[in-house]
A = this chain, B = another copy of it.
Amino acid sequence: MQRIKCTVSYDGTAFNGYQVQPGQRTVQGVLEKALTKVHKGKFVKVISSGRTDAGVHAIGQVFHFDTDFSIPEEKWPVVLNSILPDEVVIVSAKYVQDDFHARYSVKQKEYRYKVMLGKRRSPFTRDFSLYYPYQLDLEAIQIAARYFIGEHDFTSFCSTKTDKEDKVRTIHNIKVEQDDLELTFSFTGNGFLYNMVRIIVGTLLEVGSGRKKPEEIPVILNKRDRKAAGKTAAAHGLYLWQVQYEEN
């Protein structure tokens, strides 16, 4: 058996999230179906860096699987992409050591969140960024964003539906950049809780529109109460951008 690390990009619009659920069309589901087909009906389990919610996209989600087929690594994307639906594209594949694990070996993840500003919404970005037609104070957002950097208990910025006990995570960096009408939030960190990026973005948008002050962020963090933070920003603006590992 050989272990393969794959990088996959997907449009999350037409899926009921990443993780396999009975009777639902999920990204993991179509990946396992394609791999099982390649392996002539023998079920192949896919282990990813983590799940993404319904409507959330990925540029560089990572997963691994084990195979006894010896196909050259550069052929794996070609074989799988010929079977996968158009919304899911294998970007690269690589044979790795047996101790590589797509979830446990993660060193850092990057998420991006896209917001489209402007007087009129665009019919072309409606599934790919949050349309936000209101005035935003970019400087206030930048100031507020800095309070999240570092190690914090993110209970206030985590869905109450989580099953994780430990809510302490480290955000390495947050960038907020505007290019014409597109505002992009980039987050890098050692891990992110359930809905964490979307709740941070929702809260930063409240800061940007004047409903919260930047100085309230540390207060909200200290409350460790989901109700203290802002609304969860819509799923369709969020992208799992890349996953970094110790090696590979």
Residues of A within 8 A of B (CB): 9-11, 57, 77, 81, 86-91, 120-124, 126, 128
Contact = CB atoms under 8 A, between A and B. Distances in A.
Contact of A89 (B10, B77, B89, B120): B120
B9 A89 contact: no
A75 to B, nearest CB: 13
Contacts of A122: 9, 89
Given A86-B123, A86-B126, 17 more contacts: A9-B120, A9-B123, A9-B124, A10-B123, A11-B123, A11-B124, A11-B126, A57-B123, A57-B124, A81-B121, A86-B121, A89-B120, A89-B121, A89-B122, A90-B120, A91-B120, A124-B128
A122 to B, nearest CB: 7
A242 to B, nearest CB: 15
A87 B126 contact: yes
Given A86-B126, A87-B126, A77 B9 contact: no
* Centre residue among A10, A11, A123 by max chain B CB count within 10 A: A123
A12 B128 CA distance: 16
Contacts of A126: 11, 86-87
A89 B120 CA distance: 8
Contacts of A11: 123-124, 126
Contacts of A90: 120
A132 to B, nearest CB: 15
A117 to B, nearest CB: 15
Q: 7 tightest CB-CB pairs across the interface, nearest first?
A: A11-B123, A86-B126, A87-B123, A89-B123, A10-B123, A9-B123, A89-B120
A90 B121 CA distance: 9
26 contacts: A9-B120, A9-B122, A9-B123, A9-B124, A10-B123, A11-B123, A11-B124, A11-B126, A57-B123, A57-B124, A77-B120, A81-B120, A81-B121, A86-B121, A86-B123, A86-B126, A87-B123, A87-B126, A88-B123, A89-B120, A89-B121, A89-B122, A89-B123, A90-B120, A91-B120, A124-B128
